[in-house]
Amino acid sequence: QVQLVESGGGLVQAGGSLRLSCVASGNIHNIKTMGWYRQAPGQQRELVADITSGDSTNYADSVKGRFTISRDNAKNTVYLQMNSLKPEDTAVYYCSLTTISWNYEYDYWGQGTQVTVSS
């Protein structure tokens, strides 16, 4: 059983910053990636950023230069520092974890945290 618990969402004015955190717990082995997705009302869930076990990062074009993903392997925690927030960043943000075992990948999700950016 793997659990992901997000925190750090909230309401912020445009141009402001928020830092999301996600702590993974449970039977965790062989982490491939940890990341953040978001889903705005009426839209599909989209990748925001992810980071591999080797610390390679990947960002959506819409957040490059504004968001930074990082992780603390010792704490099984992934962070998303969000700067220069825009109203279009408003969404529910979900933490994700992918593990790999015997060439199979397993995906886990957090419950989501709301980020609202006012104009």
Structure tokens at 25: 């717990």
DSSP state of 87: G
Listing DSSP states for 37-53 in one string gives: EEE-TTS--EEEEEEET
Check if the beta carbon of residue 115 is closer than 8 Å to that of residue 93. Answer: yes
**pLDDT per residue rounded down to tens, the chain (119 residues):** 899 999 999 999 999 999 999 999 998 888 899 999 999 999 999 999 999 988 999 999 999 999 999 999 889 999 999 999 999 999 999 999 999 989 899 999 999 999 999 99
CA 68 – CA 108 distance, rounded (Å): 21
CA 63 – CA 74 distance, rounded (Å): 27
Q: Compute the chain's Rg from CA coordinates.
A: 14
